[in-house]
Chains A and B, each alone.
Chain A
Amino acid sequence: MNFIYQTWWKVAAILLVLYTLIAGLLLPVPRLFLLHETIRNLYFHVPMWMGMLTVFVVSVFYSVMYLRTGDEKHDLAAVECVNVGLVFFALGLVTGMLWAKYTWGEYWSGDPKQNCAAIAFLLYCAYMVLRNSMDEEQKRARIAAVYNIFAFPIMIVLIFVLPRMTDSLHPGNGGNPAFGKLDLDNHMRIVLYPAFVGWSFIALWIATLRYRIRLIEYNRNIIN
């Protein structure tokens, strides 16, 4: 856990995202019908989901660790990761809605991708509600950990599998060509992938800050 106190990866994450902010606006992008300049949203909308995925994966890891060891700190780490993941989830949804307004015509058109993402959002909100509704610490931590482990694969299926099996307006789903094949040329990759890494580590950084605050509170409660 020494990793979370180090500075180098935080600086690296900031530099990576700063690079994508500048390069994402200035480097040439493919000229595509309907998308026009909004194709640059790819650099800022998709990394939100990548950041969310990263902290959710880490939270599942700590939920498993909690069930194995019973160490309460692992439970705190899992909860704070979900907290930050929810923020990035909301950012992804809102930026997606804004993008949809100008390319699909409506903020919310009941598209399978949007609906499934909304359901997955509620799934994780339910995690917070469930965890906060219990007072007994060990029971709360155990039930929350089990719920989190089950919620993660369901979220993956809802967001990344189900929309691909039906017709969806979202690229990469239904009959639509994914950005990966037709539209995403190598010029875009050199901005998109650093954005993935940068935002993932920023999400992780915020989660570690929240975890450290929780840890101080937790230690204070033990002393009292």
Chain B
Amino acid sequence: MKKLNLLFLALLSYVSVYAQGGDVEMADTLRSSGKIYVVVLTIAIVFVGLAIYLFTIDRRLKKIEKNS
């Protein structure tokens, strides 16, 4: 029984290590080199472009609605 308890305790400690994930691999180097900002900017530009496109469609529709 004692051994089982010990095993259970050992397993539990493993779970806590697992959950903390001290050495989970993340994009730390990408972030430290600063190049992630290039990606963020690219995504932002693409999205802003699409947004402007949507606004122009909206404006054009407004014009057509006024005429008809």
Contacts and interface: CB of A to CB of B under 8 A. Distances in A.
Contacts of B8: none
A21 B54 contact: no
A146 to B, nearest CB: 30
Contacts of A25: 36, 39-40, 43
Which of B18, B27, B58 has the largest number of chain A CB atoms within 10 A?
B58
B68 A216 contact: yes
Given A209-B54, A216-B65, A21 B21 contact: no
A96 B4 CA distance: 41
Contacts of B40: 21-22, 25-26
B9 interface: no
Interface secondary structure of A, over-half rule: helix
Nearest to A34: B24
A5 B21 contact: no
A37 B21 contact: no
- Indicate the size class of the contact surface on chain A: 20 to 34
Contact of A212 (B26, B43, B55, B61): B61
A209 B61 contact: yes
A209 B64 CA distance: 12
Interface of A: 5, 7, 10, 14, 17-18, 21-22, 25-26, 30-33, 36-37, 205-206, 209, 212-213, 216, 219-220
5 contacts: A18-B48, A25-B40, A26-B36, A36-B26, A216-B61
Interface of B: 18, 20-22, 24-27, 36-37, 39-40, 43-44, 47-48, 51, 54-55, 57-58, 61-62, 64-65, 68
Q: Kindly list the 5 A-B residue pairs having the minimum CB-CB distance in the complex, ordered from nearest.
A: A31-B24, A31-B21, A14-B51, A25-B40, A37-B27
